[in-house]
Amino acid sequence: MISSLEWDDLLARSRHDTLFMRSPFLRAVQRSFVERFPVTTIRAIDSKGTLVGGAIFVVRGKSAELLGSGPADYLDIPVDATLPSEVIAALQRKLIEELFHHHPSITSIVLCHLIEGRKTPANLIPLNGLHLTKLRTMPAPRIGRAGILELSGRASLRRPDNRLARMGRVSCQHYRSANEILPRLESFFDQHVARWKGTSSPSLFEDPVQREFYRTLTSELSETSWLRYTEIRLDDVLAAAHFGFSMNGSFIWYKPSYSPEIADLSPGVVLIRRLLLLALEEGANEFDFTIGDEDFKRRYATEERIVDDIHICRSRLEATLLRAKIQFRKGARAGLEHLKLLTPRTKKEPLPPVMETTLGCSDCCSK
């Protein structure tokens, strides 16, 4: 067992101290999604008894994953960053090997949303008798401090704000405490469901478990200063909202929503501008859009992280078949794109609509 204080202290000393791996977030994930699955904690302790590395895995039958997989946009196997790089790599390898040793029935581990995952394969390739495959790579666009300042004053973002104001009285409120946020979540959930109703990507809030996760997460973060919930109202009617966070100088975009009834007024753009102004006011060093390559993220981002999903298994045959499957899918997608380019359009054929999508892709840490 690793206490919350020990775990969070290790994260603060690691390369990637992210809110998505802090103990309140992991507790909310565990209590909402994985209580019925066994959780295994593996620790690396130095000669002084200090925690220098750790990993918390959820075991699902013959497979395992890092706790947080799913809701967390960033994950890692944290190791004290003051150690030499070769020691960090060795400890990460050892933590993974220990899980396989501790659970002989496990055949594979999936490391999802691994920060700077493209660097990890080079570190993990020497795993003893194990085989590594990169499943996919995802961008995580973000805006640096200078970009926040420039975008918040950009005319193309001010215009929708002004247009909305001409339709009625606009108010924007930012909430930071759980007591303020919890009573407002139901309206936020319902608006998100309405926003995505009838599309190919229905709202995750159609699932009561997801709603309960957001309530649990809000409560778990109540003793921190990281919560950021924003509502924009037009004549007291909810026009747009955002559930996100701010930690260590990073303003984190997590779950936005807006009223589909006023979509033509660009409430999503109004929301982004108001959040940029808040990030600027708070002195944030970055506005992190987190994972996803949606057009609006790339339009505003000034840089990006790379996040990978990585599969590790015992069987060489399983790894070979998995790699062949990935290559087949890549080839099939490329073939479909080529066919689209070759297919002529008649003048009467409507162009495809431009769609903007938003990705929501025993206690682990005792209080």
| 150 and 122 in a common domain | no
Boundary of a domain, candidates 128, 159, 192: 128
Query: In degrees, to the nearest 5, what angle opens at C-alpha 240 toward C-alphas 235 and 246?
Result: 125
Boundary of a domain, candidates 95, 128, 161: 128
Boundary of a domain, candidates 93, 128, 163: 128
User: Residue 180's domain spans which residues?
Assistant: 142-304
Question: Is the distance from CB of 265 to CB of 289 less than 8 angstroms?
Answer: no
Question: Quick one: pLDDT at residue 99?
Answer: 93
Number of separate domains in the chain = 2
| 100 and 164 in a common domain | no
| 153 and 250 in a common domain | yes
Give how far Cα 329 sits from Cα of 170, 306, 321, 322, 334, Å: 47, 21, 12, 11, 9
Summarised one tens digit per residue, pLDDT across range 331-352 is 766 666 655 555 554 444 433 3
Whether 347 is in a domain gets the answer no
Sequential DSSP letters for 296-348: HHHHH-SEEEEEEEEEEES-HHHHHHHHHHHHHHHHHHHHHHHHHHHS---TT
| 154 and 101 in a common domain | no
The count of other CB atoms within 10 Å of the CB of residue 276 is 24
| 96 and 163 in a common domain | no
Q: How confident is the model at residue 127 (pLDDT cuts 50, 70, 90)?
A: low
Whether 12 is in a domain gets the answer yes
| 286 and 219 in a common domain | yes
Question: Quick one: pLDDT at residue 245?
Answer: 98
Question: Quick one: pLDDT at residue 49?
Answer: 92
Give the span between the Cα atoms of 65 and 109, in whole angstroms.
6
The predicted model gives 259-278 an average pLDDT of 96
Q: How confident is the model at residue 236 (pLDDT cuts 50, 70, 90)?
A: very high
| 69 and 6 in a common domain | yes
What's the CATH code of the domain at 42?
3.40.630.30
Whether 233 is in a domain gets the answer yes
Whether 295 is in a domain gets the answer yes
Summarised one tens digit per residue, pLDDT across range 136-174 is 899 999 999 999 999 999 999 999 999 999 999 999 999
Whether 348 is in a domain gets the answer no
Q: How confident is the model at residue 318 (pLDDT cuts 50, 70, 90)?
A: confident
Whether 341 is in a domain gets the answer no
Whether 57 is in a domain gets the answer yes
